Structures are given as structure tokens and as C-alpha cells.
Amino acid sequence: MFGKEKKTKRFKILHKESVSMIAFSIFQDTETGVNYIYTDSGVGGGLTALLDKDGKPVVTPVEKE
């Protein structure tokens, strides 16, 4: 039916955690599997690729829904 096609979300939340007034979230790009970390301190935030000990992006296998 028109307008009823299922849309897949590009990003998926893998983990949420907070310490004091700082919140951390790990997102996965569902097309590439690359993980990103987002931090939010209430007055600002930042997003960057999550890196392993060798400086390479962390990639999690994508689960197809």
C-alpha cells in the first residue's frame, strides 16, 4: 500500500551508561557495522568513531531484522 513501506533505521543504540552527570551511548551504523561513541555532559556533547587498541574503528556484525 502507498506510504506503508517499512523503513529501516540507520543507527541502533547498543549501550547506554551514565557516570555522575555524563552520559555515554554507543551507536552502531546498521549499514557498515561501525560503532560510534556519543558523550553528553548536559552543556555539550561529542560523537566520534569508537576505536580499538590499535586505533582502528570497532565494527560489530550487523544483525538483519
pLDDT for the residue 1: 55
Contact assessment for residue 36 and residue 63, using Cβ atoms and an 8 Å cutoff:
no
The position carrying cell 568513531 is: 49
Whole-prediction pTM: 0.80
> If DSSP codes are grouped into helix, strand and coil, which group holds residue 29?
strand
pLDDT for the residue 65: 65
pLDDT for the residue 8: 79
Q: Which residues is 37 bridged to in the sheet?
A: 26, 48
Read off the C-alpha cell for 45: 556533547
pLDDT for the residue 30: 95
Contact assessment for residue 28 and residue 60, using Cβ atoms and an 8 Å cutoff:
yes
Q: Where are the domains of the chain?
A: 11-49
Separation between Cα atoms, residue 22 and residue 39, nearest integer Å: 7
pLDDT for the residue 28: 97
pLDDT for the residue 64: 75
List average pLDDT for each run of 10 residues in the chain, which is 65 residues long: 73 94 95 96 93 97 81
